[in-house]
Structure 1
Amino acid sequence: MNASSKSAEPIQTLLQYYAGSEARVDEWRTLTRLARSLEASGGGGDLVEAQRVLRELQPIEELHAYPGPALLAHVNDRLHRGEWAAFQRLTNRISGALLTNSYREDVSAWALDDEAESALPDFAPPAQGHGQSRRPYFEVLHVAAIDKSQWGRLRATFNRLRRAEDEFVYEVVVVGSFEDAVLAAIFNHNLQAVLIGDGFPFTLGNDIPVLQKLLANHVPAEARQGDSGSALATVLKRLRPELDIFLTTDRDPASVAGSDAAAAVRRVFYGPEEPMEMHLSILDGIQDRYRTPYFDNLKHYAARPVGTFHALPIARGKSVFKSNWIRDMGEFYGTNLFLAESSATTGGLDSLLDPTGNIKDAQDLAARALGGDRSFFVTNGTSTANKIVHQAICVPGDIVLIDRDCHKSHHYGAVMCGAQPLYIDAFPIKKYSMYGSLGIRPIKEALLTLKAEGRLDKAKMLVLTNCTFDGHVANVERTMLEVLAIKPDMVFLWDEAWFGFARFSPFLRRRTAMGAVSALRRLLPSAAYREQYAKFKAEVGEIDPANKKLLDTRLWPDPDAVKLRVYETDSVHKSMSALRQGSIVVVADQEWKKVEGPFKEAFYAHTSTSPNLQIIASLDVARRQMELEGYELVGKATQLSVEIRREINRHPLISKYFHCATPAEMIPAEYRASGLEDFVAPGQSLADVVHALDTDEFFLDPSRITLLCGNAGFDGTQFKSILANEHDIQINKTSRNSVLVQININNTRSDMAHLIKALADISRGIDRRLADGGESAVKAHEARVRDLVEDVPDLPNFSHFHAAFRDNPKSKSCEGHMREAYYLAFDDANCEYLALNDPKVDERLKKGPELVSAKFVIPYPPGFPIMVPGQVISQEIITFMRKLDVKEIHGFNAARGLQLLRPDVLEAHSGSGSKGKRR
C-alpha cells in the first residue's frame, strides 16, 4: 500500500464489520448518494464528504482488480474537475456492479466513460463451448518486489496469456509487501490464487491504525521473521485454506520446493521464466476445486440414451411424462431430475456403499475442503452419520461420555451399540428454558472419577455438540487438550450438524473439530509445546484423581502419549447448498487402520442400498461452492446476522417487546474470560470478538439469534405461528419464550428488511391493543409476560440409572446399560403406567419404589430427553413435566401416563446375573 494513502483512515467503521467486502460496498453506496447530491445541486452538495469517502476507499481498492487503477483514477479525475454528471454516472455504475457482482461477467462495467475498450477482461465462453454461459471470473494476487510503476506491465503480461480455450478468466492484483498481501486476502473474496515472489518487504510504510489492528488478528509475531515468502504462504494458508499458493524464486528452486516451508504451496517456479506455465497452473488449481466428479458424471449420464431394466420406474421419466394422471409432477420438477435417476451402480455412477470412482473422488475433495483426512457422504442425515460413528467406535459395555441434551441420534446410537452413556449436564439457561453447552470442568470430573475407580480404560468416546442448536460454540482445542491429558487415546465425536459453514470463516474455523485438529498437529510436536508440557509436569506431576485442584487447573497432555482421534459430523444441508438429508462424516483418526473395518460395517448397516443420487450430487456441488466462494458467503452471512441483532435491539419500538439475546445473556460470565458481552456494543471492535474466540471457553455463534418474545406476551410456539401465518416467515426451533432466527448463506438484506418490518408491525399492533384495551388489557399483558419470563420451571438435570442397569451401583460415576432397559420395555408386560398427576407418583417419589422410565421422553421444546430408558425419575423431572405447556412430547402419551418399568421386573433383572454377561 503506497504512502500516498497513509493520511486516510480507511472506512472508520471497518473494525465493526465481519466482512470487509460488505464495508467496502457500503462505502461505495454512500459515495453514490453523495454523487447524486452533487449532480442535483450542481456541486452544491457535500463535496468535502465525497472527497473523504473516496480517499478512504483508495487503499482498499488497491487490493482489488475491479474497478481497477484506470477506472478509479477516472472517478477521482471527474470529482476533481467538478464533472458531476460523469462522476455520478461512474460511481453509480461501480457501486451497482459491486452490489450485484455484474462486473464478473459484464465487460461494460469495466469501461471508462469515454473509451469503449481499456484492457477489458474477456468473459466470452471458451471457443469449444458454444452456447454455454460466460466463463467464471476470479482474481489472482501477485506479491512482487518491483517498483509500483511496473505493476501495470505485470498485469498486462498475464492478460496476454489468456486463450480462447481457457475455461476461466481472471484479473491480477499486484501488491508489494507482506502486510498488503494479507490485507488483500482479508478484503478480496475474489482471490483464488496467490503468486509470491522473492525479496518483498514486510511493509511499504503502511501505518494506518485501523488496518494494523486488522493485521494483528491474522499475522503472528513469528511470521515477521525468517523467509518472507514461505512465512506469507503459511499465514495465507491458515487464513484462507482454499487458496492456491505458488512461489516464484530466484534462488535454487529445488531446495525451496523440498523445504518444509513449501508444504503450503501448490508449485514452485524459478523466477519469471515460465509465465504460460504459471497461467496454466493457476487455471489447473481452479479446475481442481471447480470439478464435481459425481455431479459432472451424473449430468453426463442423464444426457445418454440409456435403456433401463432395473427396479426404478421413474428413471428416464417415461412413466411420469407419458402418464395421463401425474404429468404435473414432471412439469413441476423438470426432465433432468428423472433422467438423472438410476438404481444402477455401473456405467460410471459408482456405489456409495463401496465407492471406487467418482464418489470416492468427491469424498476425497470434501475431506480436503473440510480439513479432514477422509470423509464419507451420508444421504439420510446427520442422525444416521452420528449412529454410524457410535457403532464403528464402541462395543457393548464401553462408556461414552455425552452431554445429556445432545441430539436424540446420539442416545439411540448408544442403544444400538450397547455403550453405557455417562450423562453430563450442560450449564442451564433457566430464563430461556434451554441448556447451554457442556463445560470442560464436569468432563474432567467424570474422567477423574473413572480413573479413581480404575475404570478409565472403559471410557471410549466423548460426544459433544458444537455448536448447539442455540449457538454455543466450544473451545475445541482446549477441550481436547485437557481431556487427552487424562486419557490420551480418547475418541472425540464432535456433532457439528449446525456448524459446517464455520470451516470457511477465518474467525470461526479455530472453533471447529478439524480446525482444532490442524492446530494440534502443529502444536504437539513443536519444541515450544514440549517446553510447556515439561513445565506443567514439573508443577503438577502425574494426573492424580485425588487431587481436586486438577479440576480448576489447565491440563496439558504428554505429546508422546497422545493419539489424536477425531470425528466430525456435519449436516451439509443445514448451512451449505445441499439437498435435505445431505450429511457427511469427516475423519482425522490416528488409529484409522484399526477402525476402518468396523466403520465400513457400521456404514453398511445404516446406509441404504438405494441412496438418493441427487443428494450425493448436491453434496459434491456444495463442496465446490464453499471452496470457491465460502469465504465470501459466510462473511456476508455473519455480517448480516450482526446487523439484524443491532437493528432489533436498538429499534425504539421493536425493542419494547423483542430482544436478540447477547453473548452475555446466553453464556455465564465464568465461561467468558474476555468479558465480551455483545457483538455490537458501542466502542467494541472486531478485535474484541477475535480475542473472545481465542480465549473464552464458550463463544456464541452470531448467526444463531435467540429472539426473545416473552415481553410481547407470546410463547415461542405461538410466535412461530404468527410469523408463519401472518408474515410468511418460517422459524424452526422455539423455547418457552423465544424463537431461533437462523442466518445462513441464503439470506440477504432484503430478508432482514422483511423480518424487521414484521416485528415493527407486530409491535405496533401490541401498542394499539394495549392502548385500546385500557388498564385491564395492560394488566393482562403484564401477567402473561410474568408467566413467560419470570415463572419459568427449573430445568431438570439427569438423575441416575437404576441399580439394575449399573455394573457397580455404589460407583460415584453414573453410567448405565441403557440398552437393557430399552429392550425390556418392548414387552409391555414389563411396564406399568401412571398418570402424571396421579397422587401415587408423589407417594412413590417420597417412599418408593423408585419410578424408572421405560423409554425416552423428549418434550419440544426444549428438545432433549428429560427421561431415558432405565433412568430413575426425580422430583425435579415431575415438576418440570407438570409445568410444561407444550403440545409435542415424544415418548409420552398423556392418556396412558408415564410408562415405567415395573419394580418386580427391575428386581428380577438385578438378580438375573446380567451384569456378568453384558459384554
Structure 2
Amino acid sequence: MDKPTTDSRIKRVDHFFAFPGARNDRWRYLNAACADWARSGEGAALSASLLDDIEAYEGFFAYPGRSLLATLRQRIEAGQSGAAAALAQRISESILTRSYKSDPADWQSAEAAAETPPDLNTPTLARAGGHRPYFEVLVVAPGAATRGENITQQMRRLRRTEDAFIYEAVPVGSFEEAICAVILNPAISAVTIYEGFAHESAAELPVLRDFLASARLDAASIAGADLPLSLADAIKRIRPELDLYLLSDRHVERIAGDARASGLRRVLYSVEELLELHLCILEGVDDRFRTPFFDNLKKYAMRPISTFHALPIARGKSVFKSDWIRDMGEFYGLNIFLAESSATTGGLDSLLEPTGNIKEAQDMAARAFGADHVFFVTNGTSTSNKMVHQALVAPGDIVLLDRNCHKSHHYGLVLAGGQPLYIDAFPMTEYSMYGAVPLASIKKALLDLKADGRLDRAKMVDLTNCTFDGHIYNTRRVMEECLAIKPDLIFLWDEAWFGFARWSPFLRPRTAMGAAEAIAAWMEDPASVEAHEAQAKELGKNPSAAKLMETRLIPDPRQIRLRVYQTNSTHKSMSALRQGSMLLVRDVDFASVEAQFHEAVFTHASTSPNQQLIASLDIARRQMELEGYGLVANAIEIALDIRKEVNAHPVISKYFRILGADQMIPAEYRQTGFTDFLTPGTDWEDQVRSMHEDEFCLDPTRMTLVCGTAGYDGTQFKKLMADDYDIQFNKTSRNSVLLQSNINNTRSDVANLIRVLLEISRKIEADLARGGENGRAAFAARVKSLMTDVPDLPNFSEFHEAFRWDAGKKTPEGDMRSAFYSAYYAEGCEYVPLDSPEVDKRLKSGPAMISANFVIPYPPGFPIMVPGQVITKETIDFMRKLDVKEIHGFERAKGLKLIRPDHAKDHIRK
C-alpha cells in the first residue's frame, strides 16, 4: 500500500483533487500498521506517526471526532496495541462503508458507550418510516479548537424525532480552517459563522495558505475587511450550494441589510435560542432536498385514479392482467405505470406551459446551476440546441459555428435559416480528431465581418464546451473579447458533457454560467470602466485589425448586453434518465425573446413528454445540490487514478497510454506552460493557474486512451472490450477510445479496467513471442498504419457561389438552408461513386462537386460535408482512407449525393 498523503505531498495534483479517497487510504494504512504492531509487537512509533498525519486534517470531519481520536491516541501512547488495532479497524471500516451515518455505536469507544446514555451523545439516525439523510454543519467560532466537544454536544441536544434529517457539527476556529474544511469535506451542507474567529490557523497549513494567497483570500488581501462577511463570500465562491448562517451580537439588522450579506441565508442574533438556528439549518437542507415534480408524482401514483385518456399503459392494468406482456411489469415494477398519465390536470403539470410543480422544479434548477431560467427538455440536448437556434436566429442571421460541433447545431441552422460562418478547430491529425476553436479564429471572423460592413448580421457565437475529447474553453475570455467587438452577441455553449462542472470550484469558472456570473460581477465594478477606457486610449480611435488581433480586448461594460445560453445533457453526467436535458438561460434581454422562445418549445418539445424523464431531472438537481461536490471530486479522483495506473504500469504502458494535456493541447494554447496533471514536479497550483489563464484546458475526467500502439483501431478495441470484457466506452477515433469517469464510477471499476488491460497486454506479448520475426513485423506494420499512416483532417472548404448570394467578400458564410432543400428535388441531384475516375476528373477540371447533404463519419463524428459545400481533394482523400462502417449521409452503393451544377446556377438566377 502506498504511504498516505502528507503535507509535503498533498501539493501533487492527484492528491489535492482526490483528498476524500486519499483520506480513506490513510486510515487503511494506519489500520494495517496497528494490526502489524498487534501481531509482531513492533510498530508503535509508525502507528503514532501515521496518526499524526491523520490528525492534521481530521478536524475538518465530524467523524470520528475529537473524542475517538483522543482515545486512539491514548491507546497508542500507552502501548495497548490490541486495543489500538481494534479501534483503528472500526474507525477505518466505518469511514470506508460510511456506516457511522446510520450506526450510533460507531461514534464511541466501548468504554464511553458503557458510561454515557446513547440518546444524549450519539447520533440517533433511525426513525419510524425509514432512514434520515445525514450531513455535516461547519461551525466557525472563536476557540472552537478547545470548545469543539461542547459545540458538538449543544447541537446534538437540539435533535428531535420530528427532524427530517440529522447532522453533526464540525467546529473550527479560523478563516483558514473554514476554507480547508469546505474544500476537503464534501459532507458539509451548511456553515454557521460566529463573530470573533481568527484569520490564521494555529496549525501549520502551508499548502492552504498558498491557495488562499492565489485566490486573494489571505490575511493581507482582506486586511481591514469584515472577516465573517469575507469568509461567507469566499465560501460561496468555492461551494455556492452551501447554506450560510451568520450569528452576531452586533446590530444584526444592519448586517442583514449589507450588500455583502447577500450570500447568507439568515442572519441571527447569537444570544438568542439555538433552536432557531437548528430549525433554519434543517429548513435550508429541506429546501434543496425537495423535488416538487417528483414528490408530486409519487403522491399521484398512490391515488385511485380511473383513466379515460389515450395512454393504456397508465396504471398498468393492460400489463399486469396480460398473459403475454406481464414480464414487462415484473421487470419494471408497478410504480412506473402508476406514475404515468397523458393528463396535465388532476395535480400534474404541463411541460409545454408549466405553472405548477414543473415550473417550481425548473426554478430550483435555475438556482442550483446559477441561471436566470431553466427549461427541462425530454428529447435530449439535440432538441435543446434546436430550440435556442429557432428562438434567437432569424433567416439571414450569421452564426459563428465550430464546424466540428454536434450535428444538432447544423440542423438547427437549417431549420432557422441562419447562415453558418464555419470556424475550424485546431487539428490533432495524429489521433484523427479536432480540438477546439482558437480565440484568434473567432476574433478574425468577427473583424472580417466588421471590415465587410456586415457585423450587424452576426447574431451568435456557438461553441462546444467541453468538446467530446475534453477541451475546455476559457469561456470568460472568449465572451469578453467577442463582446469588445460586438457588445450584443449571443453565446450558445453546448455543455452536453460538462454539466457536472458546476459542482467543482476548479471547473466552474470555465462553464458558461460560471463565466457569465464573473462577467456580470465585473461589469458592476467601477474598475471595469476604467480598464476599458485605459485600453481604448491606448488603442486609439481606429485601431487596425492587426492591432486588435494581438490585444487582449476589454469590452465596454456600459455597452454589454450579456446574453448567454447553455445546454446540458443532464443524463450524460448526472443521475438523469437518457434524453434528459436542461437548457440554461442568463440573458438580460430574455423578456424580449421569451414569446418566441416558447414558440420554439412548442415546435420541438413532445406534447407527450415522459413523466419519468421530467422526474429524473428534478432528482438530478437534488442530488447535485446536496452531494454533487463530493461526487465530482470522486470522478476526478477516479480519472487521475486511471491515468496514473495506465501510464506507469510496466507492461500496460508498452501498448496503451492515456494522452496528457501537452499531447491534447498545442503549447501555444497553454500559456502557463502546464504539461499534465501527473507530470513530476507539477502541483495543484499549476493546475489552478492553468484553469485561470490558459486558452484551453483539459477536463481531467475525459481520457483519450491510445490503442493503436496495441494494434487495435478504435472501433475494433471498443467492440473487443464490450463483447469480451463487459467494459463499455463511448467515442472512438482511428487509433484511440475515449474513457469518461463520472459520478457513477468506483475504484472497483478502475481495478477491473487495469486487470483487463493487463490481460490484453500480456496476450499481445504472448502472441508476439509465438509469432517470431514475421509476427513482430506484421504487428509493427499494423501499428504504423494506425499511428503513422493517418489521413489528414479536412477543414471546411467553402460554400458554392450559388449559396453565397448575399455573403461578404472576406467571410465564408453561406445559405445552407437553401442548399439543404435544393436536394429535395431529385432532378437537381446526382450521384457520383466515391472511387470513380469521375471524382478525380471533376476535382481537377470541374465542374465543382457540391454536397447535397450532411456527411458524418463515425468516428470522428463531425460533418466533413455540409449542404452547399464545395467538395475538395482533401475531403475525398480523407473519405477514401476512412475504414469506418458508419457514415451518415453516404450510401456507398450510390456514391456521393451532389447538387447538379446547372441546378445550382438556376438557384443563383432565382
1:455 match: 454
Task: Please give the per-residue CA displacement for 1:86-120, whole angstroms capped at 9, x wherever unaligned.
Answer: 11111111111111211111112112132324654
Q: Distance in 1 between matches of 2:806 and 2:335?
A: 60
The answer as to whether partners of 1:436 and 1:667 remain within 8 angstroms in 2 is yes
CA distance in 1 between partners of 2:214 and 2:702 (Å): 24
- Corresponding residue of 1:156: 153
Name the SS of the counterpart of 1:871 in structure 2: coil
Matched, 1:123 2:124: yes
Alignment of 1:783-794 (within 5 A): 783-794=781-792
User: In the TM superposition, what is the alpha-carbon distance from 1:840 to its structure 2 partner?
Assistant: 1.4
The aligned counterpart of 1:311 is 310
Code of the aligned partner of 1:154: I
Of 648, 651, 672, 1:650 maps to 648
Compared with structure 1, are the counterparts of its residues 599 and 542 closer, same or farther at alpha carbon in structure 2 (3 Å cutoff)? farther
Counterpart for residue 5 of structure 1 = none
Question: Residue 292 and residue 11 in structure 1: after superposition, are their counterparts in 2 closer, same or farther (change >3 A)?
Answer: farther
Q: Within 5 A, what are the aligned runs for 1:504-653?
A: 504-542=503-541, 544=543, 546-653=544-651
Q: CA–CA distance in 1 between the matches of 2:12 and 2:839?
A: 58
Give the structure 1 partner of residue 355 of structure 2: 356
State the alpha-carbon separation in 1 of the partners of residues 272 and 540 from structure 2.
58
Q: Could you say if the C-alpha distance between residues 727 and 197 of structure 1 is closer, same or farther in structure 2, counting changes exceeding 3 Å?
A: same
Counterpart for residue 299 of structure 1: 298
Is residue 254 of structure 1 aligned with residue 253 of structure 2? yes
Letter in 2 for 1:613: Q
Residues 374 and 582 in structure 2, CA contact (< 8 A), matched pair in contact too: yes
Q: TM (normalized to structure 2)?
A: 0.97
**1:44-55 to 2 correspondences below 5 Å:** 44=42, 46-55=43-52
Partners of 1:768 and 1:725 lie apart in 2 by: 21
CA contact (8 A) 2:121 2:156 kept: no
**Bigger CA drift: 519-528 or 685-694?**
519-528
Verify the 8 A CA contact 2:445 2:811 in the aligned structure 1: yes
Partner residue in 2 for 1:481: 480
Partners of 1:605 and 1:842 lie apart in 2 by: 43
Secondary structure at the counterpart of residue 130 of structure 2: coil
Give the aligned partner of residue 171 of structure 2.
Answer: 174
Q: Which residue number corresponds to residue 863 of structure 1?
A: 861
Question: 1:61 — aligned with what?
Answer: 58
Are 1:377 and 1:616, in contact at CA under 8 Å, matched by a contact in 2? yes
CA contact (8 A) 1:378 1:584 kept: yes
- SS of 1:628's equivalent? helix
TM-score (norm 1): 0.96
Q: 1:225: Cα distance to partner?
A: 4.0
Give ranges in structure 1 of 5+ residues lacking alignment: 1-7, 913-919
Cα distance per residue 1:122-167 (max 9 Å; x no partner): 33445xxx3x221111111111124643332222221111111000
Structure 1 residue aligned with 2:844:
846
Deviation at 1:789, TM superposition (A): 0.3
Percent identical among aligned pairs is 55
Find the partner of 2:906 among 884, 905, 908: 908
Distance, in Å, in 2 between the alignment partners of 1:582 and 1:47 is 55
Tell me the CA shift for residue 551 of structure 1.
Answer: 1.4
Opposite residue 481 of structure 1, the aligned amino acid is: E
One-letter code of the match for 2:60?
Answer: L
Partner residue in 2 for 1:782:
780
Contact in 2 for aligned 1:10/1:57 (Cα 8 Å)? no
Could you say which residue in structure 2 is the equivalent of 1:679? Answer: 677
SS in 2 for 1:801: coil
Q: Secondary structure at the match of 1:611?
A: coil
Contact 2:638 2:747 in 1 (8 A): yes
Matched residue, 2:204: 207
Match of 1:405 in 2: 404
Q: Which moved more, 1:807-816 or 1:64-73?
A: 807-816
**What SS does the aligned partner of 1:413 have?**
helix
| Kept in 2: contact 1:11–1:23 (CA 8 A) | no
User: Which residue does the alignment assign to 1:884?
Assistant: 882
Aligned residue runs from structure 1 range 325-474, under 5 A: 325-474=324-473
CA distance in 1, matches of 2:326, 2:32: 51
Matched-pair contact (CA < 8 Å) for 1:219–1:235: no
Specify the code of the residue in structure 1 equivalent to 2:772. Answer: G
Residue range with higher mean Cα deviation, 272-281 or 293-302: 272-281
SS of the equivalent of 1:115 reads helix
Q: Select which of 191, 195, 199 maps to 1:198.
A: 195
Amino acid at match of 2:81: W
SS at match of 1:800: coil
Match of 2:728 among 724, 727, 730: 730
SS in 1 for 2:112: coil
Partners of 1:9 and 1:210 within 8 A in 2 = no
In structure 2, the CA distance between the partners of 1:364 and 1:11, relative to structure 1 (3 Å rule), is: farther
CA contact (8 A) 1:386 1:569 kept: yes
Distance in 2 (CA, whole Å) between partners of 1:895 and 1:809 is 35
Matched position secondary structure for 1:88: helix
CA distance in 1, matches of 2:46, 2:475: 46
Residues 529 and 558 in structure 2, CA contact (< 8 A), matched pair in contact too: no
Query: What secondary structure sits across from 2:374 in the alignment?
Result: strand
Query: In structure 2, what residue type is equivalent to 1:506?
Result: P
- Cross-structure match for 1:265: 264
Distance 1:147 1:721, change over 3 A: closer
Q: By how many angstroms is 1:351 displaced?
A: 0.5
For 1:698-748, what per-residue CA distance to the aligned partner results, in whole angstroms no more than 9, with x for missing partners?
Answer: 000011100000110100011111111111101111000000011000000
1:202, 1:224 within 8 Å by CA — same for their partners in 2?
A: no
* Residue matched to 2:810: 812
Cα–Cα, structure 1 residues 855 and 9, in superposed 2: closer, same or farther, change >3 Å?
Answer: closer
Q: Are 2:35 and 1:36 aligned?
A: yes
**Inter-CA distance 631–557: structure 2 relative to 1 (3 Å threshold):** same
Task: Please give the alpha-carbon distance, in whole angstroms, between the structure 2 residues aligned to 1:418 and 1:463.
Answer: 15
Please identify, of 69-78 and 269-278, the stretch whose mean Cα deviation from structure 2 is larger.
269-278
Retained in 2: the 8 A contact 1:75–1:90?
A: yes
8 A contact 1:90–1:113 mirrored in 2:
no
- Cα distance in 2 for residues equivalent to 1:772 and 1:704: 36
State the Cα distance separating 1:49 from its structure 2 match.
Answer: 2.4
Matching of residue 834 in structure 1 with residue 870 in structure 2:
no
Corresponding residue to 1:188 among 178, 185, 190: 185
CA RMSD of aligned residues (A): 1.4
The structural deviation recorded for 1:805 is 0.8
Distance 2:719 2:282 in 1: 50
Provide closer, same or farther for how the CA distance between residues 183 and 776 of structure 1 changes in structure 2, counting only shifts above 3 A: same
**Aligned equivalents of 1:813 and 1:15: distance in 2?**
46
Q: Closer, same or farther in 2 for the Cα pair 1:303/1:775, shift >3 Å?
A: same
1:726/1:806 CA distance change after superposition, 3 Å: same
- Kindly provide the amino acid, as one letter, of the partner of residue 315 in structure 1: A
Structure 1 counterpart of 2:686: 688
- Counterpart Cα distance in 2 of 1:783 and 1:123: 66
Q: 1:522: Cα distance to partner?
A: 1.1
User: Cα distance, 1:543 vs. partner?
Assistant: 6.2
What is the rounded CA distance, in whole Å, between the counterparts of 1:376 and 1:455 in structure 2? 33
Cα distance, 1:274 vs structure 2: 2.8
- Which runs of 4 or more aligned residues in structure 1 lie more than 6 Å from their structure 2 counterparts after TM superposition? none
User: Letter of the aligned partner of 2:131 in structure 1?
Assistant: R
- Say which SS state the counterpart of residue 131 (structure 2) adopts: coil
Partners of 1:124 and 1:268 in 2: CA distance: 29
CA distance in structure 2 between the partners assigned to 1:809 and 1:486 by the alignment? 20
3-state secondary structure, aligned to 2:479: helix
1-structure distance, mates of 2:571, 2:187? 24
